[in-house]
Amino acid sequence: MARPNRTANRLGAPLILASSVFLLAAPPPPAQSTVEVYNLRSYTHPTYARVVIDIGKLREFSSAELKDPDRIYVDVYQARLNPILQGKTYVARCDYIKEVRIAQKNSTTVRVVAELDLAKVERYQVFPLFDPFRVVLDIFPKETAAAPPTVTPDKPPPAEPEEKPVKLPEPTADGYSMARQLGLGIQRVVLDPGHGGEDPGAIGKKGLKEKDVVLAVSAELRTLLVAKGLEVIMTRESDISIPLENRPVIANQQKADLFVSIHANANRNRKKRGVMAFYLNFSPDPQINEIAALENATSTKRIGEMQDTLKKIVQNSKILESRDLAYKIHGNLVKWLSQHYTEVESLGVRGGPFWVLIGGEMPSVLVEISHLSNAQEEERLKSPSYRKQVALGIYEGILEYMRSLGKG
Ligand SMILES: [Zn+2]
């Protein structure tokens, strides 16, 4: 369990003015894998400004003040910054915060720095919120007309305001190609290597882990797509954990045109083998739901949130496009592998209730590239040449989908 240490500090003393620490009752073991800091948001209220560091899993953090220039920093431990946030800076819509920036301080610490105009700041507080875990920095300016909201351990902090974040970590219009600005074609692809960190995914009989295989295949695929002139963003580039539901959020923030989640399957029947692709849909098929349950296992989503989720699914107008993309990726993957290997089995394209496909605003597909539970397919997945052919098959599928848009 956590021991929250909510602090409210008053600025004024020299150099290190105040500091606070949030420690877990049981410190994480040194070998614990890092968790991903996947978002930084800021809001400006009439009476205060709020910075939210989205982490997703419980982590220790500390904060302190420094002078010259005046600033508050928050360090999150056992954490890695999603590469898309590295070095990002945000300008708050108020005169007492000059800039908020985020960076990987060292291999296991992420630091957020809020540079302030000290003369205009009355006080600040740093505290955790839970489910999902996040660290909040509230900054209260001097001389506000209304009394600033106060937060005590007995009273929950004010709800995060409804308004849009001041600045989201997303590329500027300048970063978009002309084709993309005109709404034409596919320019930016998010590749999502499944699992990672403490979640290995499926594990083969000889010990091969899904998280490692799919990362290698994704890296191969990225190389191919980049060579074709596409922008590629990976939800993870190393062995770190990212909550399932955050992966499409990354794709939305990056305004991706396609989202491809890459997985390797497992089945209790070790004879079962072959390639499948999925798009988001309800499924009455228990076998499909079994695969979805495997892939959803690490999700923190709860049944109570189902209503909200259903709404998102209904609102998702990309189901037909996703199905189309799934067919093209699956078809090309099977065709490509069959040219180089025997006994490549096609298990088809299906709709399934996969958390990682919910909420994406672009065509979104999950590919099961083979079965790790099958001895021969585990052997193949171990070899760089098979991984390369898998990447080539998915690549051909994405290209076919792009060409089909051109014809339309
Ligand atoms: Zn998986």
- The full set of domain ranges for the chain reads 2-141, 177-407
Q: What percent of the chain has pLDDT over 70?
A: 75
pLDDT digits (tens, 9 = 90+) for 337-361: 999 999 999 999 998 878 888 778 8
3-state DSSP assignment of residue 285: coil
Going by pLDDT thresholds of 50, 70 and 90, the confidence category of residue 7 is very low
- Ligand 1 center to residue 9 CA distance, Å? 45
Spell out the residues 6+ positions from residue 278 whose beta carbon is closer than 8 angstroms to its own. 288, 291, 292, 326, 349, 350, 351, 352, 354, 357, 365, 366, 367, 368
- Ligand 1 center to residue 195 CA distance, Å? 6
Sign of CA dihedral 230, 247, 219, 375: negative
| 125, containing H or E segment | strand 121-129
Q: How far apart, in Å, are the Cα atoms of 79 and each of 64, 76, 132?
A: 18, 6, 15
Q: Would you list the DSSP string of 84-102?
A: GGTT-EE--SSSSEEEEEE
Q: Is CATH 3.20.20.70 correct for 2-141?
A: no
- Ligand 1 center to residue 292 CA distance, Å? 9
| 407, containing H or E segment | helix 384-407
pLDDT digits (tens, 9 = 90+) for 197-227: 989 999 999 999 999 999 999 999 999 999 9
**In the predicted model, is pLDDT for residue 69 greater than 70?**
yes
φ, ψ at 247 (rounded to 5°)? -70, -45
pLDDT of residue 313: 57
Mean pLDDT along residues 186-192: 94
**93 or 70, higher pLDDT:** 70
Which residues surround the ion ligand 1 when the cut-off is CB under 5 Å? 194, 201, 263, 295
pLDDT digits (tens, 9 = 90+) for 219-256: 999 999 999 999 999 999 999 988 887 888 888 888 89
Mean pLDDT along residues 130-137: 78
Pairing type for strands 35-37 and 79-81 reads: parallel
- Ligand 1 center to residue 385 CA distance, Å? 21
**In the predicted model, is pLDDT for residue 125 greater than 60?**
yes
- Ligand 1 center to residue 405 CA distance, Å? 29
- Ligand 1 center to residue 194 CA distance, Å? 5
3-state DSSP assignment of residue 250: helix
Mean pLDDT along residues 168-193: 56
- Ligand 1 center to residue 312 CA distance, Å? 22
pLDDT digits (tens, 9 = 90+) for 250-282: 888 888 999 999 999 999 999 999 999 999 876
ipTM of the shown complex: 0.99
- Ligand 1 center to residue 297 CA distance, Å? 9
177-407 CATH choice from 3.40.50.2020, 3.90.1150.10, 3.40.50.1980, 3.40.630.40: 3.40.630.40
